């Protein structure tokens, strides 16, 4: 969606969850700076694996999540061509197959 991304919560810390929980990353929670310049489709795509922080219980439908810290964001993704994306910066990932660059909010690797 234009102002938020929906996510299925699969793990809490390193423990897999047994039930299905839904989270929402709102536009203002994508990053800490230049919030008005955030475009959701350039931050996350369907199928991306994202490391996020739970901000609050949200509403009846979903928890509110944040990726506004450097270590939070996309940790694993596939390109449009189906190849694995490798981080090249905090805003870009590159396809191993085609070399094409795709925009993402990338999690900083420790």
Dump pLDDT digits (tens) for 74-99.
999 999 999 999 999 999 999 999 99
SS3 21: strand
Residue 110 has pLDDT above 70, yes or no: no
Which pLDDT score, from 0 to 100, does residue 35 have? Answer: 83
Domains in the chain with CATH codes: 4-103 (2.40.50.140)
Report the first-to-last Cα separation within the chain, whole angstroms. Answer: 30
Query: Is this structure's pTM higher than 0.85?
Result: yes
Residue range 30-49: mean pLDDT, rounded: 91
Dump pLDDT digits (tens) for 40-78.
999 999 999 999 999 998 777 899 999 999 999 999 999
């Amino acid at each position: 969606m234009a102002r938020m991304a929906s996510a299925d919560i699969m793990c809490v810390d390193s423990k897999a969850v047994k039930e299905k929980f839904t989270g929402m990353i709102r536009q203002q929670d994508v990053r800490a700076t230049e919030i008005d310049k955030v475009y959701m489709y350039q931050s996350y795509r369907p199928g991306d694996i994202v490391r996020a922080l739970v901000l609050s219980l949200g509403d009846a439908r979903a928890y509110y999540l944040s990726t506004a810290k450097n270590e939070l964001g996309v940790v694993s993704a596939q390109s449009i061509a189906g190849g694995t994306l490798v981080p090249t910066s905090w805003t870009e990932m590159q396809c191993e197959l085609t070399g094409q660059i795709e925009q993402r909010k990338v999690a900083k690797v420790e």
